[in-house]
Amino acid sequence: MELLKKRIVKDGRVIGDDILKVDMFLNHQIDVELLQEIGKEFKRRFSDSEITKILTIEASGIGIACIAAQYFSVPVVFAKKGTHRNVGNNVYSADVYSFTKDVTTTITVSKDYIQKEDKILIIDDFLANGAACAGLIEIINQAEAQLEGVGIVIEKGFQPGRQALESAGVRVESLAVIKSMGGGTLTFE
Amino acid sequence: MELLKKRIVKDGRVIGDDILKVDMFLNHQIDVELLQEIGKEFKRRFSDSEITKILTIEASGIGIACIAAQYFSVPVVFAKKGTHRNVGNNVYSADVYSFTKDVTTTITVSKDYIQKEDKILIIDDFLANGAACAGLIEIINQAEAQLEGVGIVIEKGFQPGRQALESAGVRVESLAVIKSMGGGTLTFE
């Protein structure tokens, strides 16, 4: 997606060998017009899938998923991190290890909001090691729902997330795939 | 906003005297079409204000703010909770006490994303004691930006949030104001 790649080059910041900060437009400040184009592109790529629900994870996936959901005319469900008093015990859950923060977080989704009949599109901002996606897929499996695919805004193509997902038979659509990063710059695949 | 009130009556759940669960359509599963109507209503109510940015707080404010921002044609900035490795020290911050969880959380916004020239609309899902709003206003004040008002989806009118904000000269627009809750039911003002 050229518009997105141009924006990453213009406003993204490469830190070290594996951190790309895009909080200028994607996950702290949010350019909603860019998100609309991202949402349309997800809809175009998954136009052959019958999607009933979009699943994401708090916090930075929520805005992307909500804007995209408008083009699919489906609700969004976001997995919550940690234990929440108001969620109760009626939940599906999975553990997600964050390589960035070196902590394992439990993510939960209420059993009320994923049904066996659901055909689910996962949407998230980044794909690196695929740990967050694996957790969301575990939850979809617990609900015996159907995973239609994974839509990612920015994929770190030099990390093993895509391979892990595709080995499990999961369709992955990334709007920008980074081939390599370092020295303050990056190249796309 | 009648559509919202009807939805609260239909799908909300009153627990005890002060908890209203609306995670069926607002803050776990998200009805994006309802959010569009909510966004249009915020735009209608603040049509006389020149807004340059919408500020909210993770996680449940993000979807509401992003959908609403489309009708204002402005970016969203969301305050992050806790300390984040990727945010750095270049932040405005405030402490927010959560009555629900009985914990104090530090919220932060990068100094890069609020400018002195900004005219800011705060949007959030609930207004109860006003602690989250007070934290966001403290951040706006640190940035010397201008607060245009606060847009709330559901206000607990029997709690002191509105009074605290209005005493400080802040304009508050709530789309549904709950007068009282208890015994599994609620009444609107």
Q: What is the pLDDT of residues A21-63, one digit of tens each?
A: 999 999 999 999 999 999 999 999 999 999 999 999 999 999 9
pLDDT at B84 > cutoff 60: no
Residue B86 pLDDT greater than 80, yes or no: no
Q: How many CB pairs under 8 A join A and B?
A: 114
In contact, B156 and B127? CB cutoff 8 Å: yes
CA dist., res. B21 & res. B19, Å (int): 6
**Arithmetic mean of pLDDT, A71-82:** 96
3 state SS of B4: helix
Give me the helix-helix angle, A60-72 and B60-72, nearest 10°.
60
- Which CATH number does the domain A2-184 belong to among 3.40.50.2020, 3.20.20.60, 2.30.40.10, 3.10.110.10? 3.40.50.2020
Distance from CA of B151 to the nearest CA of A (A): 18
Total length of chain A? 189
Q: B2-178 architecture in CATH?
A: 3-Layer(aba) Sandwich (3.40)
Q: Answer yes or no: is pLDDT of B117 > 70.
A: yes
Read off the pLDDT band of B88 (50, 70, 90).
low
Residues of chain A with C-beta less than 8 angstroms from the C-beta of B35: 66
d(CA B43, CA B151): 10
CB-CB neighbors (< 8 A) of B21 in chain A: 86
The per-residue pLDDT for B3 is 98
What are the residue boundaries of the structural domains of chain A, listed by start?
2-184
Does the distance separating the beta carbons of B80 and A36 come in below 8 Å? no
- Percentage of residues in chain A with pLDDT exceeding 70? 97
Nearest to B78 by CA among A59, A176, A85, A14: A59
Instruction: Flag whether the pTM goes above 0.90.
Output: yes
Instruction: List the single best residue of A26, A28, A103 to mutate versus B (max B Cβ within 10 A).
Output: A28
Radius of gyration of chain B, Cα coordinates, nearest whole angstrom:
16
Q: Which amino acid is at B58?
A: E
Q: What is the pLDDT of residue B85?
A: 54
Average pLDDT taken over every residue of chain B: 95
* CB spacing of A69 vs B21 below 8 angstroms: no
Report how far residue B146's alpha carbon sits from residue A120's, in angstroms, rounded to the nearest whole number: 41
Question: What confidence score (pLDDT) does residue B11 get?
Answer: 97
Q: Which chain B residue has the Cα nearest residue A81? A: B59
Distance (Å) from the C-alpha of residue B179 to the closest C-alpha of chain A?
Answer: 21
Mean pLDDT, rounded, for A63-70: 98
**Mean pLDDT, to the nearest integer, of B118-142?**
97
Unique residue bearing structure tokens 């002195």: B116
Q: How far is B189 from chain A (nearest CA, A)?
A: 25
- Residue B91, pLDDT above cutoff 80: yes
- Of all residues in chain B, the one with the smallest CA distance to A84 is B101
What pLDDT score was predicted for residue B29? 98
Contacts of B125 in chain A (CB under 8 A): none
Q: Which pLDDT belongs to residue A89?
A: 80
Band the pLDDT of A98: cuts 50, 70, 90. Answer: confident
Tell me the pLDDT of chain A averaged across its residues: 95
* DSSP-derived secondary structure letter, A168: T
Whether A110 sits inside 8 A of B23 (CB atoms) is yes
Q: Which of B35, B57, B60, B62 to mutate to test the interface with A (most CBs of A within 10 A)?
A: B62
Q: For residues A185 and A179, what is the distance between their CA atoms, to the nearest angstrom?
A: 11
- For B101, nearest residue in chain A (alpha carbons): A85
Q: Do B59 and A63 touch (CB under 8 A)?
A: no
Residues of chain B contacting A78 with CB distance shorter than 8 Å: 28, 30, 59, 63
More confident residue, B89 or B81: B81
Residue A45 pLDDT: 98
